[in-house]
Amino acid sequence: MVSPQQPVVTGDAVVLDIQIAQLPVRVVATVIDVVVIVIVYVLGVVLWALTLSQWDSALSDAVLIVFIVLGLVGYPVAFETATRGRSLGKMAMGLRVVSDDGSPERFRQALFRALAGYLEIWLLMGGPAVICSLVSPQGKRIGDIFAGTVVITERGPRMAPPPMMPPQLAPWASTLELSALRPESAEMARQFLSRAHQLDPRVRDEMAGRITGEVVAQISPPPPPGTPAGQVLAAVLAERHRRALSRLQPPAPNPY
């Protein structure tokens, strides 16, 4: 079974607090989509049969092929592109397709996934998709590997909001190089800040100094001298979260 705790890493080496969709949930979403596609296909065949007597055989065959293509390829491409990574089945199960770096799925990626899905899901009855998802650390099927995408769940437990950016540290945080910051260190800092008010002051100060020293050793430039350890951690995590969110936003349209 695919672990839901595998991380998604952005281009800035920021680990997003999102969960990889587990295989059983993806199977249910796929079944829903298959039912929708079959209904579309049946409607297409009925329309084809009703018009069979009015058109010549070549035109009738062309219409049938169009309905097949629209059902098997056009449906997932159109829905995932229009809804930024969601089909009807994924909407029902709370799933979304995103790029490997956490950014929204693009048309090209949706097309690659749909074309690969025709082979691995429809022609081969889903066998390669299931096997690949079980082997992949991020639960990817073959289409996801070719498209550079991953399926995440949007119904996981909500985490505590990121700390607020200390205003006096915002200029320093905007210049930070965070690519060397390990996910474990960032998670340790996040958990410490969320529980700091529960700790004995002496224990809190000792832990703050130790965790801050570990985090500062992995970032650059160093914080301004004399900055309290808790503020340094808050600034680093707030900036890390801001950059992750900025990568998830769609690019601004070119006015020209």
Residue by residue, what is the 3-state secondary structure of the chain? CCCCCCCEECCCCCEECCEECCHHHHHHHHHHHHHHHHHHHHHHHHHHHHHCCCCCHHHHHHHHHHHHHHHHHHHHHHHHHHCCCCCHHHHHHCEEEEECCCCECCHHHHHHHHHHHHHHHHHCCCHHHHHHHHHCCCCCCHHHHHHCEEEEECCCCCCCCCCCCCHHHHHHHCCCECCCCCHHHHHHHHHHHHHHHHCCHHHHHHHHHHHHHHHHCCCECCCCCCCCHHHHHHHHHHHHHHHHHHHHCCCCCCCC
Angle between helices 23-51 and 57-69 (to 10 degrees): 160
Sign, CA dihedral 36-115-100-2, equals positive
Asked whether the beta carbons of 147 and 93 are under 8 A apart, the reply is: no
CA 249 – CA 243 distance, rounded (Å): 10
pLDDT band for position 55 (50/70/90)? low
pLDDT band for position 42 (50/70/90)? confident
Angle between helices 183-195 and 201-216 (to 10 degrees): 160
Asked whether the beta carbons of 174 and 193 are under 8 A apart, the reply is: no
pLDDT band for position 4 (50/70/90)? very low
Percent of the chain with pLDDT over 70: 84
Question: What integer pLDDT is reported at residue 3 of this predicted model?
Answer: 42
CA 32 – CA 34 distance, rounded (Å): 5
- Residue 203: C-alpha distances to residues 192, 212, 236 (Å): 11, 14, 22
Query: Which range (48-62, 117-131, 177-191, 219-233) has the least confidence?
Result: 48-62
Provide the CB-side half-sphere exposure for 113 (13 A, CA): 28
Question: With 60 as the cut, is the pLDDT of residue 178 above it?
Answer: yes
Beta bridge partners of 220: 177
Question: With 90 as the cut, is the pLDDT of residue 7 above it?
Answer: no
User: What Rg do the C-alpha atoms of the chain give, in angstroms?
Assistant: 24
CA 141 – CA 21 distance, rounded (Å): 12
Question: What integer pLDDT is reported at residue 63 of this predicted model?
Answer: 72
Beta bridge partners of 98: 104, 150
Q: pTM for the full model?
A: 0.59
Question: What integer pLDDT is reported at residue 10 of this predicted model?
Answer: 45
* Average pLDDT taken over every residue of the chain: 83
| pLDDT tens, position by position, 8-23 | 544 443 445 567 888 8
Query: Which range (121-135, 149-163, 234-248) has the least confidence?
Result: 149-163
